[in-house]
A and B are shown apart, each in its own frame.
Chain A
Amino acid sequence: MKGFLLTIVSFLLVVLVLNAGYYREWFQAKPAQYWTDFLKEKDDTLDAIGIMKSRYGISYVISIRVKEVVQKRNLVNPVILFEPNSYYRDSLHIYPNVHAPEPAVFYYYTGLEGVWINSPNVSKANFLVRVSKKGVSLDAIKTPQQLQQILAFYKKFTPIL
């Protein structure tokens, strides 16, 4: 009987903690939500790329799209220049929902070399990923002058993560 009473006490203690102050809010938002997600995810048939798309979001989707275009066009040694995230924030107002991956992360996603406008080897850039309200495009940078014009345009936007 005493064991049973102690079990009731334990049960009440668990309920108390799960409903106490911030714990309640956190438990609902995280572990309980993860459980709901699990019930959906257990029947998923997504492959690794599909899972990564849902995990990393638009940044990963853009990166994979760039990789597909590079493969489709058989581009040799592409070095991809990304617009600064502060441009998306201050001019397009789409940050942080849309943001460019930093070069290290872009390499992880795609195996391709990327640069930002303040990268030491930005001069190697031969393609530009341009995000606009119409969509995403991969434009060739054909001459050093064109690259300088692009850099001059984005100069006032300080790169941010």
Chain B
Amino acid sequence: MPFVLFFLLFLCYLVSGYGVLTLFGMRLKTAYMITLSLLLGVAIASMLPFLMQLFYIPLTPASVFGSLFGMALLLNIPTIRRIRKEGFTAIRKTFAMRPFRILSAELPFLAIFAFLVFVSVWRCYYLPPTSRDALSGPEAIADVAVREHTMINSFFNIDLWSTNNQFKSPFLISLQMICKMAGFPFGQVWLSIVFISFTVFLYHAMKEKIHPIIAGLLLLLFLMTPEMYAYTFMILYDYSNMIFFFLSLYFLFDYFRNKIPAHFYFAGLLMGIATYIRSETLVLAFLFLPPILLTQIRGREPVKKIALANLFFFLPSLLGYYLTSQLYIKYYLPVHYDIGSLINNHLSDLHPLFQRYTDIVTHLVASEFGIHLWGYLFYITAFLFLAEGLFRGRYNKDARNWLYAILALYIGIGALGFALPMMNLNETTKRALFKLLPLAVLYLANNNLLIRLSQWISRWEGAPLAFTLIGKRSTASASARPAADRPAPGKSATQGKSAAPAGKSRSSKKRRNK
């Protein structure tokens, strides 16, 4: 029975997320559409019980599952209308259909990925380790909520002096509740959906840029990050936060390249989800305002339009922050929590700030402890970053975007640790560094040396040149075009146009890419 319900939930997540994608007019490769649909579906599921709680609707299995299926239908009203008009071909049209192709050289990597995924899924299902942060907050609240039909339940009547985890985002509570109601005593099978979807997305995103062998190698290094791998089967906020933060930047940078407004607003939505999961992401979101403004000013957009666009970009993040960290805590929870009291009282003394920046590098990254946390991924990134600077002399535009993101994140995480002393180095800051990992691998996927190597392998195997330097290739939305279908540099100008969004001229795209 639980597995039937799980399958229905899975379909529900898929359909809900697909509804969101179509509302944004997203037309992406099938692999992206499916994985993003699932991730968005999980995000929606994490919000519904919380929103019901805000309206004091009892959280019974009937009301929770009813709301999930209702929302899936509601979000797909435009799709249903189109199906009624055009038949089921309307759905096919929303996918950028490409032939599914796996090289034999990918198989060894796929085998080890399958092994790592299987082990993680089994751990998630059968013997899930649960961190103290989850046990003393969201997991316990969710467990009681299933019995008492409310998130504001008897858990808040007991002695909670030793924990503040009851004040964290209802993201985990909602998802755990749904899984427990579906018959999984430990919940958390949702985490496997998130893990697999993101892994598939990331692999395809890298294969857009580099040869599948190199993409496979980078993904293997990413998956074998010891600390992060543990969080693929241990529920907490940071792994999911990392995913939505990364996806937001992925579409934001895609907007920088292709100027598709839907991708900009979609990035804003994803950042909002990341902020809903971890409220301090709001600060990190604003660190991307400078490049956004720069892009908009370069595009000679009117000030009013810029202001409005940015308002809509940051609105989901502001809402994600306000609903969880202000409204819910202040006006719903029976226990008082003064967030203002958590802020460092000595902000004028900058010594701890620089100390935190130093500690992040020397203690968490460039140390034996760092290797135990992240493997050698950061060392490899640093080496290839230096090598690219040394041998190529410059970084391409996409690489620069990811490098900016890495720098902004480092500055932001350090500053947050300074402003909020509760963000200790060994736990909170360490987990916040998860967000650096996909940024690092996407930087590597845009590293000119690895792109050259990809070209060399392609030439050697006699395949069409699929991997081109950013300055030379077509600017058509990369996310809609698999690498295998991308033409050689010399042909890109005309062939690339076919995948360009309607209304975009080739010349204007060329100008933007300079």
Contacts and interface: CB of A to CB of B under 8 A. Distances in A.
B116 interface: yes
Contacts of A107: 140, 144, 155, 158
A6 B375 contact: no
Given A17-B220, A21-B376, A10 B213 contact: yes
Interface string B122-163: 110011111010011101100110000000000101111111
A54 B139 CA distance: 18
Interface stretch (A35-43, A64-72, A88-96, A139-147): A35-43
Nearest to A37: B127
A104 B461 contact: no
Interface residues of B, number: 56
A14 B108 contact: yes
Interface stretch (B98-106, B441-449, B472-480): B98-106
Interface string A9-35: 111011001101111001100110011
A104 B140 contact: yes
Contacts of A120: 159, 161
Nearest to B157: A113
A103 B126 CA distance: 26
A120 B216 CA distance: 54
Given A7-B107, A14-B109, A116-B162, A34 B119 contact: yes
Interface string B364-389: 00000001100110000000000000
Interface in A76-91: none
A103 B162 contact: yes
Contacts of A55: 127-130
B415 interface: no
Nearest to B162: A102
A72 to B, nearest CB: 22
B158 A4 contact: no
Given A23-B375, A37-B127, A161-B132, A104 B155 contact: yes
B327 interface: no
B221 interface: yes
B376 A108 contact: no
Contact of B135 (A21, A104, A121): A104
Contact of A121 (B106, B136, B159): B159
A105 B159 contact: no
Given A34-B119, A116-B159, A4 B104 contact: yes
A118 interface: yes
Contact of A108 (B116, B140, B221, B375): B140
A75 interface: no
Contacts of A23: 224, 375-376
A3 interface: yes
Contacts of A37: 127
Interface in B221-276: 221, 224, 226, 229-230
B457 interface: yes
B331 interface: no
Contact of B136 (A4, A41, A104, A116): A104
Contacts, number: 142
Contacts of A116: 159, 161-162
Contacts of B372: 22, 26
B462 interface: yes
Contacts of B103: 3, 6
Contacts of B457: 6
Q: Is the interface of B mostly helix, strand, loop or mixed?
A: helix
A148 interface: no
A6 B105 contact: yes
A36 to B, nearest CB: 10
Contacts of B137: 104
A133 interface: no
Nearest to B129: A55
A113 B112 CA distance: 46
A17 B371 CA distance: 14
B375 A22 contact: yes
B122 A104 contact: no
B135 A51 contact: no
Contacts of A35: 115, 119
Contacts of B220: 13-14, 17
Contact of B160 (A18, A21, A34, A104): A104
A3 B105 contact: yes
B162 A104 contact: yes
Interface string B445-463: 0000000000001001110
Most chain A CB atoms below 10 A, which of B115, B135, B158: B158
A158 interface: no
Given A14-B220, A48-B185, A30 B159 contact: no
Contacts of B107: 7, 10
A53 B109 CA distance: 36
Contacts of B106: 10
B226 A30 contact: yes
Most chain A CB atoms below 10 A, which of B159, B226, B462: B159
Contacts of B57: none
Given A13-B220, A34-B119, 10 more contacts: A3-B104, A6-B104, A10-B216, A13-B108, A31-B116, A103-B162, A104-B163, A105-B136, A116-B159, A119-B161
25 contacts: A3-B104, A3-B461, A6-B213, A10-B213, A14-B109, A14-B111, A17-B224, A22-B371, A22-B372, A26-B224, A34-B122, A34-B123, A38-B126, A48-B185, A51-B126, A51-B127, A55-B129, A102-B163, A103-B161, A104-B136, A107-B140, A113-B159, A116-B159, A159-B162, A161-B132
Interface of A: 2-4, 6-7, 9-11, 13-14, 17-18, 20-23, 26-27, 30-31, 34-35, 37-38, 41, 48, 51, 54-55, 102-105, 107-108, 111, 113-116, 118-121, 159, 161
Top 10 nearest A-B pairs (CB, nearest first) are A108-B140, A6-B105, A104-B136, A48-B185, A11-B108, A103-B159, A10-B108, A119-B159, A34-B119, A102-B162
